[in-house]
Amino acid sequence: MTVSDPVVEDVVTTISRSATEIRQGLIGRRGTVEGENPSGDTQAEADVWADELLGDRIAGIDGVGQYASEERADIVDCGDDPAASAAYAVAVDPLDGSSNLKSNNTMGTIFGVYDAALPARGDTLVAAGYVLYGPITTMVIATDDTVSEYELTGGERTIVERDVTLPAEPVVYGFGGRVPDWPADFREYAREIERELKLRYGGALIGDVNQVLTYGGTFGYPALESRPEGKLRLQFEGNPIGYVVEQAGGRSSNGTQSLLTVDPDELHDRTPLHVGNDDLIDRLESTVA
């Protein structure tokens, strides 16, 4: 699949061609750096390096007006007027699951292309997706038309599946956060789900969501007693992942509404995140409302 908009295609191609380099560049960058990212999380050396690599390349694309990253406090003005109709904003989580570097487990890169200045609602996305650094490097791309999965080799995309949709019969679930920190209503929902589905949880949003996209089911990182606003970032994780799952025929929710309809206040806003098959998200909202 070639994305119809040439600017969006340039963004997707830049990320896909950078993926092999990012994966190889993880070697020797498993340590942490001093300080934290704007969300207060410890940064790995690889977080900073991947952000600089992607930021430089995406900011150089004609038609991209803004670049923003989970690893940077501020939006980068790329030169085009971000309010102009031809200028897109790109938000990236350069290395999702970087805490898995220590144990050498799954990680990924998440991106969203917004037809609006950041921070923006998810329903202004024109494309979103992720790269999964698993045993095979794969890329999922969602547009308003379809969701497709590719294998990446040497920066080139090879189609694996077109028109990806969530299987109708859910199989897997994964929930983040410490169980004692879950609100009582979410614990009630989780107890029901764990009697019906198989647990799959790897500590990286990308890997867990990809399990849901492959087998059907639900992933959630709920509001916590200690963090009612949630843990994941709306612009960099919630909106792009919500867009992918909704375009694949599923639903997203912050517990009360689609992630794509949430009005952001700040670039680094956090959100509870739930995605999966319609019925499972309907049940979630009925339980925690």
Q: Is 205 labelled a binding residue?
A: no
H or E element: which one contains 13? Answer: helix 6-25
Q: Is 224 labelled a binding residue?
A: no
Q: Is 25 labelled a binding residue?
A: no
The torsion of the CA quartet 238, 244, 247, 250, rounded to 10 degrees, works out to -70
Q: Is 279 labelled a binding residue?
A: no
Q: Is 81 labelled a binding residue?
A: no
- Tally Cβ neighbours within 10 Å of residue 266: 10
Q: Is 96 labelled a binding residue?
A: yes
The reply to whether omega before 119 is within 30° of 0 (cis) is yes
Between CA 95 and CA 286 the distance in angstroms is: 33
Between CA 48 and CA 29 the distance in angstroms is: 10
Q: Is 99 labelled a binding residue?
A: yes
Q: Report residue 26: phi and psi, to 5°.
A: -70, -25
- The secondary structure of 180-207, three-state, reads HHCCHHHHHHHHHHHCCCEECCCCCHHH
C-alpha closest to that of 262 among 125, 75, 166: 125
Q: Is 225 labelled a binding residue?
A: no
Q: Pull the structure tokens for residue 12.
A: 């997707």
Q: Is 16 labelled a binding residue?
A: no
Q: Is 97 labelled a binding residue?
A: yes
Which parts are annotated binding residues for substrate? 96-99, 201, 231
Binding-site positions for Mg(2+) read 70, 93, 95-96, 237
